[in-house]
Amino acid sequence: MIQTIYFAIRELKLGFRNPWAYSFMGLFALFMLCLLLINAQGYVQGYSGITGTTLNLVLYLLPLMSLLLGSFSLTAEKEDGSWELLSTYPISTWSFMLGKYLGLAVVLLVIVFVGFGAAGLLGLAAGSGFGLQTYVQLLSFSASIALFFLAIALLIGTLAKNRWQALTIGVAIWFFAIIGWPPLLISVLGFMPYPVIKPAVTLLTFVNPAELSRLFTVVKLGGGAILGPEYYGWIKWIKQPAGSIGFAFTAVLWIGCVITAAQFIWERRRSRA
């Protein structure tokens, strides 16, 4: 536990010394302010065009930020030789990996809160911000996206030998999960027998954290009807009081499995070195 806290604090210091973190923070805050200006044209409640635009902006920006920051943090340990020095001490790989995740999670959440905080304060001062429920839901969506893709970033950083490999794999996963997912899903489901489609959609939704978080947020904001009556019938559980608990449990399980996989691979390579 002490080792985990040490690595988390170390990662926190390194994260806030990283100029990339401030670049991403400025970029995210700028786009949130732009959305605020668009939203200032009319007060918004529930799911609307502007909330859909915000969801898309977060989906384009935050996963890529998380993937790059997280994977570069691990590959930098390999390239700079820091891990070779650390591995001479009696530290566990699990403490190292979990500390990395916790430290980077704080850095990413600060980026998200600064972006939303600036937009929220200006919106409150101008009297044209998002409704409170919409604001909290969008903030929760952004935080969940950052935490999901940070876990994937650690797995990428474990597999990649250097920053260039991490960049290539990270961009490929980002494109696959965010840009290519809808056409890929439609093309694959088109060849499946009708009785298999619903279980396949259910499984694939849980495979892609971006899609799972997006559906959860859309339904919570009251926009689930746009998904179609049959699909909406499947995801109505999200609107129930236990829906948020179920999503949180799924997120913790999903992130835990990915970090465990990264820890396992890192430990195997450490034992062979």
pLDDT confidence band for 121 (50 / 70 / 90): confident
Query: Per-residue pLDDT tens for 147-203?
Result: 999 999 999 989 888 888 888 898 999 998 888 887 787 777 777 777 777 777 777
Query: Per-residue pLDDT tens for 27-64?
Result: 777 777 776 666 666 545 555 666 777 777 788 888 88
Q: Are 59 and 206 in contact (CB under 8 A)?
A: no
Give Rg (Cα) of the chain.
20
Query: Per-residue pLDDT tens for 213-222?
Result: 888 887 777 7
DSSP letters for 177-226: IIISHHHHHHHHHTTS-HHHHHHHHHHHHHH-HHHHHHHHHHHHTT-GGG
| Of 181 and 123, more confident | 181
How many residues would you count in the chain?
Answer: 273
CA dist 238 and 232 (Å) reads: 10
- CA angle at 206 for the pair 259 and 249, rounded to the nearest 5°: 65
**Residues whose CB is less than 8 angstroms from the CB of residue 256 and which lie 6 or more positions away in sequence, other chains included:** none
The residue type of 238 is: I
